[in-house]
Structure 1
Amino acid sequence: MTAEPFDAIVLAGGSGSRMGGVDKPALEVHGRSMLTTALAAVAGAAATVVVGPRRPELDSTIRQVQESPRGSGPVSALAAGLREAGGSAVVAVLAADLPTLTADAVDRLRDTLRGGTDAAFAIDETGRVQFLLGVWRRDVLAARLAALDGLSNQAMKSLVPHGFATVQMSGISDCDTAEDLAAARAADDAGPASIVDARAAIRRRIETLPALELSPLAAVGGVLAQPLVSVDALPRLDTSAMDGYAVSGPGPWQLDAAVRYAGSADEVVLDPGHAVRIATGAHLPTGATAVIRDEHAGLDGQTLSRRPDAPDRDDTRRRGEDWAPGAPLAPGGTPVTAALASLARSAEVTELLVRGPVRAHVVVTGDEIRRDGPLRDGQTRDSLGPVLPHYLSWCGLRAEADTHLRDTAGGFDELLAAGTIDADVIVIVGATGGGAADHLRHALGRAGARMVVNGVRCRPGGSQVVAVLPDERVVLGLPGNPYAAVATVLLTAPSIAAALTGAPRPVPVSGAVANAAELAPAGTRAHTPRIVPVTRQPDGAWVGVSQVRTAHLGALVGADALAVIEPGTPDGGHAELLLLPR
């Protein structure tokens, strides 16, 4: 429901006077700075401006500006930010001292603005209106700024229009004092995150893999850690682009008996006025000046000439026509596909510096799970483990081994211990819920893992876990039932692969879902998207399945994608699509 583009202005003035003059936006809460939290909350903005002292660590796509004079207050800072913002009709404004702010909060304000109001602001748990957490109509904000008698040291209330809306929220209190900061750091931030925030946390808190030198074929599935540069020219020599004749000088030409074949090392010298037969891909004889293809040539005995109706063209591929030695062929950060591996070999590149391919180890948990042999009472066939590598590969993870883990309290401790599993990602199926046999979260805590994602607000897949062990191996915990596990892999695994390899952040694909209102009606688990199978119709629209049995993958048979549908999306509204492998 928040499809309208928006720009974001983040006020990060830096000086916390009631905290001893510290750089307040740089203070960390739960492992990240409050400025980072603010930027994650507006990650979907078309343009983002940070107002305050220059911060070299910020991404180059983020615009930075300082209000003038420095320290002249939030209104002056807001005006400076608006001058640097993009052209979106909606502008989100927030301070960089909201340590538990999420993208959901910004989205709720944007949804409220859709009702035609001039601005929407958050109200915190104390009932206070947070004028530095709001969304504005750009033209209204610009007009209110222009109407002020000066910008310096103005209160934010002086900007507020008469027609504004408010949204009651929790978890948005700001940090003005050391006590506020201590309380924020002590608070439990381990609850479920939105999909946007979960992906941002994965990108921020998972370190990239070290770069390795691999052959182009072994590197498929990885990502270039440095640009791909050609070693030799292509073609390496002047070669014939067609079957025909290599000729020397102007015609007509005397046809010699020699024939130049591709790969031939025989020395052939053409004198002026002479020609020889030549095959596609063969390098030109010494003295040759051009190639005439068969259909453009006429032969009278041993005399060759260009046909009168043929174009005057040369079918020679000259050395370096495709690229010269040292030419850049692909930038760093490019995924190594089969095509890129082929390109490297064409350029005589024998080794690539890459991160990845990402190696995964699949662990299926549960006493009741049986892969092979007849089932006994109480057992369930492992219908997911054998096919999970197919879905992981689609998402950029190469499954190299698997394990079956029984439901014992200490089983995970041995599994997660350093040196037990040699993999970049340990993918664990089951044990992510709160049941008696669900030991994963406790085991991660005992192992000293840092939690990256502790649940996501979505259905199914809400119980998923992403954590990083002390040795930097990543753990992806999936729900136990097959449909939820596959939905989680498609939703989350591409972000893990991109974070580990340094690949660009995956760009979501979307499509119009014809029956979206039926699939995720308004009022059902507010702000919790539903993930459903959809099939593309001949007219380009997508149609979803409303009833899905999650104990097997039958709902995916014939489906083209999973759609992530927000509650209240109207019929024909757009949803993110998680494309299914074939």
Structure 2
Amino acid sequence: MGGCRAFRHRAACGTSGARRQERTAHERSRRRGDARCAVGVEQSTHRGPRPRSDGGRHRRRARARRNRGARTAPPGSTAHDLPGRLCRRDRCSREGRGGRRCRLRPGRGDSDAPREIRGTVIADLPGAQPGLPLAHDWHAARGVAATAASALRSETVPLEAGIGRILTRDLLALSDVPHYASSAMDGWAVSGTGPWRLTGESTLDPGFAATIVTGGLVPPGADAVLRSESGIVAEAVLASTSSTGEPHPGQHIRMPGREARCGEIVVSAGTLLNPAHIALAAGCGHDRLDVIRRPRVLLLLTGDEVDEHGIPGPGRVRDSFGPQLPGVLRMLGAEVVSQQRVRDDFAATVEGLEEHSGSIDVVVTTGGTGDSASDHLRAALRSLDAEFLVHRVAMRPGGPTTLARMPDGRLVLGLPGNPLAAMMGLLTLAVPLLAGLQGRASALGRVESADRIEGRDASSILVPFRTVDGRGVANPWLGSGMMRGLADADGVLVVPPGGVGAGDRVETVPLPWR
């Protein structure tokens, strides 16, 4: 084991001795609280003259080798992107002794298990925006998405298109509701005390009654309605059979304005409209409603290895995003204007991002958010002068999920290429983003965890769960490429970095289709 470790050090650093000298120097620097250990990349500049020694010479040579290696990548390559992973916090930072030691490691392709440390700031990574957080905490990322843009403008739609929309103007009753005196029961409209003689006249005099149906116009002169089950007719004379003295004055009559008076606000602006609101609006005389328009979404699906039909061959994968994501986005209130497939190519990615620039609010992409040579989204966004709002999220799966704003105001949500990772990214950022554009908030739930779930570094873990006897039971099949665990889930547990114990209350993300 020791020989293997020494071999790896020699392969990485040239000589194991220089590496040990460098580590010793770092320990001294860490104990002093050297500022160079407080950011996510090692600095190569000297703080000032220092006594020379053989150890110092070895350290300078090792540092020069590293710096030369870091500068060999051409501009636009993946070396100019953010690293896929960070090492764990070293023991001194956990115990409060000195700064953070976060030496960057190159990503290994699938970076849905980020080890980024919250609060770490990029200082000198080529291509990174100064001061950009390396990874957002899960809650912070949702907050950024929710406030990334203000609510969209209002539009007028027919009543039947109003369900699930946000009302932008108070809804007033255009007349009294009901607008006439109507019967609440089938039976007889009566005037005065019984028994009553039946008549076909449109106006009732005392001692007379007329047959009436539910919702029917109560004739002038009537002062109550006797239910059909509470009366009996013999020889055109109506008598009450009620043991409670029915009918009482005004009984079973809906008076004008009982539900709403003309000009009264019946639904306030800002309300999320449900089917009952639509029926109420119709009853108040409305044909159309003023609501916030739906966010218009362009869906870009990347992947050269994707088959859209049948069973894929070796090295190929079946497209699950194409038939899935448009429906989910519509459930979140979006209008999918266009769905396009884009080659795993930098120029094609740039071209796709520029499509429909004048009519799109949000671009949702799949794949290409990692660090490999075939991942082009981040480089394409930088080439278009996009502002990264969320570069990564400290969660798994779905850590490489990114959110950016284009110079023209469009928002770009980049989802990872693995199906479950993409859905976790969608639930984390797309839900609050699209809700914010529609002028509403996205709520989280809570459930008691039936399981003990260990935490993972500084990342939140998103776990599909089923509700069994009122408790959340974690589903199996949790790999970033698996959808079986989400297919029958009731929601998603948000396990904090410290983990949860059985019986703990855990935050949950509702599923749009539940």
Q: TM-score, normalised by structure 2?
A: 0.70
Alignment of 1:153-552 (within 5 A): 187-257=130-200, 268-310=202-244, 311-313=246-248, 314-372=251-309, 375-417=312-354, 419=356, 422-503=359-440, 505-515=441-451, 517=452, 519=453, 521-522=454-455, 524-525=456-457, 527-538=458-469, 540-545=470-475, 547-552=477-482
Give how far 1:200 is off: 1.8
Tell me how far apart the structure 2 counterparts of residues 447 and 341 of structure 1 sit (CA, whole Å). Answer: 43
Which residue is 1:135 aligned to?
none
On the 8 A contact 2:495/2:507 being kept in 1, the answer is yes
Give how far 1:373 is off: 5.2
Tell me how far apart the structure 2 counterparts of residues 304 and 486 of structure 1 sit (CA, whole Å). Answer: 68
SS class of match (1:491): helix
Distance 1:563 1:409, change over 3 A: same
Deviations 1:540-574 (A, max 9, x none): 11110355233231112322111111133111112
Higher RCO (C-alpha 8 Å, min separation 6): 2
SS class of match (1:427): strand
On the 8 A contact 2:303/2:344 being kept in 1, the answer is yes
Give the greater-gyration-radius structure (CA): 2
Task: Judge which range, 370-379 or 327-336, deviates more.
Answer: 370-379
Which residue is 1:568 aligned to?
499
Gaps of 5+ in 2: 1-95, 101-116, 122-127
Tell me how far apart the structure 2 counterparts of residues 376 and 537 of structure 1 sit (CA, whole Å). Answer: 39
Give how far 1:400 is off: 4.6
Tell me how far apart the structure 1 counterparts of residues 445 and 418 of structure 2 sit (CA, whole Å). Answer: 25
On the 8 A contact 1:358/1:398 being kept in 2, the answer is yes
Distance 1:374 1:560, change over 3 A: closer
Tell me how far apart the structure 2 counterparts of residues 282 and 123 of structure 1 sit (CA, whole Å). Answer: 83
Deviations 1:29-69 (A, max 9, x none): xxxxxxxxxxxxxxxxxxxxxxxxxxxxxxxxxxxxxxxxx
Tell me how far apart the structure 2 counterparts of residues 187 and 579 of structure 1 sit (CA, whole Å). Answer: 35
Distance 1:196 1:374, change over 3 A: closer
Q: Does 1:556 align with 2:509?
A: no
Tell me how far apart the structure 1 counterparts of residues 276 and 373 of structure 2 sit (CA, whole Å). Answer: 48
Tell me how far apart the structure 1 counterparts of residues 486 and 119 of structure 2 sit (CA, whole Å). Answer: 38
Q: Does 1:578 align with 2:509?
A: yes
On the 8 A contact 1:214/1:353 being kept in 2, the answer is yes
Tell me how far apart the structure 2 counterparts of residues 411 and 351 of structure 1 sit (CA, whole Å). Answer: 42
Tell me how far apart the structure 1 counterparts of residues 358 and 302 of structure 2 sit (CA, whole Å). Answer: 15
Gaps of 5+ in 1: 1-121, 127-167, 173-184, 259-267
Give how far 1:287 is off: 2.8
Tell me how far apart the structure 1 counterparts of residues 490 and 411 of structure 2 sit (CA, whole Å). Answer: 29
Which residue is 2:70 aligned to?
none
Q: TM-score, normalised by structure 1?
A: 0.62
Distance 1:339 1:308, change over 3 A: closer
Tell me how far apart the structure 2 counterparts of residues 436 and 343 of structure 1 sit (CA, whole Å). Answer: 57
On the 8 A contact 1:562/1:577 being kept in 2, the answer is yes
Q: Percent identity?
A: 31
Tell me how far apart the structure 1 counterparts of residues 273 and 118 of structure 2 sit (CA, whole Å). Answer: 44
Distance 1:489 1:338, change over 3 A: farther
The amino acid of 1:304's aligned partner reads L
Aligned residues: 393
Tell me how far apart the structure 2 counterparts of residues 241 and 225 of structure 1 sit (CA, whole Å). Answer: 34
Tell me how far apart the structure 2 counterparts of residues 429 and 169 of structure 1 sit (CA, whole Å). Answer: 25
Give how far 1:367 is off: 0.8
On the 8 A contact 1:452/1:467 being kept in 2, the answer is yes
Give how far 1:480 is off: 0.8
Deviations 1:306-347 (A, max 9, x none): 224144441111111111122222222221233322322222
Distance 1:288 1:280, change over 3 A: same
SS class of match (1:404): strand
Runs of 4+ in 1 over 4 A off after TM superposition: 122-126, 168-172
The amino acid of 2:490's aligned partner reads D
SS class of match (1:205): coil
Distance 1:354 1:170, change over 3 A: closer
Give how far 1:360 is off: 2.7
Distance 1:124 1:300, change over 3 A: farther
Give how far 1:279 is off: 1.0
Which structure's residues are more often strand, by fraction?
1
The amino acid of 1:269's aligned partner reads T
On the 8 A contact 2:198/2:208 being kept in 1, the answer is yes
The amino acid of 1:283's aligned partner reads L
Tell me how far apart the structure 2 counterparts of residues 274 and 437 of structure 1 sit (CA, whole Å). Answer: 88
Tell me how far apart the structure 2 counterparts of residues 124 and 256 of structure 1 sit (CA, whole Å). Answer: 98
Tell me how far apart the structure 2 counterparts of residues 409 and 318 of structure 1 sit (CA, whole Å). Answer: 69
Distance 1:446 1:273, change over 3 A: farther
Tell me how far apart the structure 1 counterparts of residues 118 and 374 of structure 2 sit (CA, whole Å). Answer: 35
CA RMSD after TM alignment:
2.8
SS class of match (1:198): helix
The amino acid of 2:464's aligned partner reads P
The amino acid of 2:448's aligned partner reads A
Distance 1:432 1:233, change over 3 A: farther
